[in-house]
Amino acid sequence: MKNNTILYSLCLFLCMAQFAKAQEKSLAEHVVLISVDGFRPNFYLKDKWPTPNLKKMVREGVAADGVRGVFPSVTYPSHTTIITGAYPAEHGVFYNSPFEEGGQTGRWYWDSKLIQTKTLWHAVKEAGKTNASFIWPVSVGAPIDYNIPEFWLLNKDVSRIESMRTKENPKGFLEEMEIAVLGKLNDNTWNGDYLNREDRTGEMAAYTLEKYKPNFMTLHLIATDHFQHEQGREGEKVFTAIAAVDRAVGKIMEAADRAGILGKTTFIVTGDHGFVDVHSALNPNIWLVEEGLMEDSHDRGDWKAAFHTSGASAFLLLKDKNDKKTISKVRAKLNDLPPSIKKLFRVVDRKDLDAIGADPNAVLALAPIPGIAMSSGTKGNILSPRRGGTHGFFPDFKEIETGFLAFGAGVTKGKKIEKMGLEDIAPVVSELLELDFQTKNGILYPGILTQKKN
């Protein structure tokens, strides 16, 4: 009789625990994660930038003074760190374009199968929740219910729009949005050289949030990157680009309101990197050609070493990873350069590459001073003119930092975060949606979020 009583009490306790867990609500039912390419903290911290929606998020949510990125600080590895909470060395997306031994074909890291760690999309799916995504890097084939990924065919006769249709999920999703809200997309109405692309992307996200109410949405806006490359940090078009981004954010917020889910939704706005104005570019592959370590040809010819350039950085790759003679030759060449050239960059050795979680295949990297970019050229002058802005720098100074804003359900009001890393964003999403998700490198700053309620 006593054993039966104990057994009954244990069963009652377990049932009550399961009931309590079932009644426990996540901090948010919906999270909208918006990445603004080339996003800088001063876009929301300085009065001169036309961003009323972002500044509302500063007042009523959490804002970071700066977010340290990855190396190289370029779009694809950065976005993959955001969605995984892991550094490139862990998630496997090292650059925008993978290094190709026979010469670069123009292929980028498009396919999500290239990601070597678990993503938030997977965790959302495993939790029985739904995903949506628009123009997010490395999202082709990801476990996303409503997906228009960033992708283009190398055949230049096929437009970006038609390229995206080949990878959309579900089939016909883009056409559905064209009929309902976008109008027929073409090279004039969907064009990165103009701000209509930001409008269309915002409308896609707003339509999907209102109609399908996904639990997690990722969204990539590009105009601020495009025009900072063209005009630099303070270019006239940069002001209109960030205004278009702010308008897109407002459209999505209004859609949540119309759908009746505004009070249950968290909005996170972040970016992949900051921006630096540049005036010159180094061409380090010329040194390798001079030393007979590669040829001045598209396929690199009979090569032993090559610098894979990525914005404002260059990574040394070897045909034979154990070729110590070639490594010594490259180091001697770099060491013997005149002081006028050596002062323009520093050599990042393997120890420092490991610490920042960069490509494990690189022997070393070249990280230039602000104002200097890298180029893949194999002939001409070592130093060539460059204008506008770029990124890809080693992420250890203010201008290359990106931003972070959080607002809405589950977010502390009026909180400032001095510094965080890109890898620390995924844990915030995981906590908001109560996902089973452990990041490789990120950490949750608990002060960003309110206490969970039962």
Strand partners, 33: 218, 268
Q: Where are the domains of the chain?
A: 28-273+397-448, 280-386
Looking at domain 280-386, its CATH class is: alpha beta
DSSP code for 411: B
What is the model's pLDDT at position 446?
Answer: 92
Distance CA 123, CA 423 (A): 16
With tokens 């005009």, the residue in question is 231
Give the relative orientation of helices 52-60 and 236-258 as an angle to the nearest 10 degrees.
60
What is the model's pLDDT at position 381?
Answer: 96
User: In degrees rounded to 5, what are phi and psi of residue 201?
Assistant: -65, -45
pTM score of the predicted model: 0.94
Two tokens at 227?
């025009």
Q: What are the CA-CA distances from residue 142 to residues 113, 212, 261, 286, 316 (Å)? A: 8, 18, 25, 39, 31
What does CATH list as the number for 28-273+397-448? 3.40.720.10
What is the model's pLDDT at position 55?
Answer: 98
What is the model's pLDDT at position 164?
Answer: 95
The one-digit pLDDT tens for each residue of the chain (454 residues) are 445 544 444 444 444 344 334 335 899 999 999 999 999 999 999 999 999 999 999 999 999 999 999 999 999 999 999 999 999 999 999 999 999 999 999 999 999 999 999 999 999 999 999 999 999 999 999 999 999 999 999 999 999 999 999 999 999 999 999 999 999 999 889 998 999 999 999 999 999 999 999 999 999 999 999 999 999 999 999 999 999 999 999 999 999 999 999 999 999 999 999 999 999 999 999 999 999 999 999 999 999 999 999 999 999 999 999 999 999 999 999 999 999 999 999 999 999 999 999 999 999 999 999 999 999 999 999 999 999 999 999 999 999 999 999 999 999 999 999 999 999 999 999 999 999 999 999 999 999 999 865 4
With tokens 């205004």, the residue in question is 243
DSSP string, 124-192: HHHTT--EEEES-TT-BT-S-SEEE-----S-TTS-HHHHHHTT-BSTTHHHHHIIIII----TTTS-T
* Residue 421 near residue 67, CB atoms below 8 Å: yes
* Residue 389 near residue 229, CB atoms below 8 Å: yes
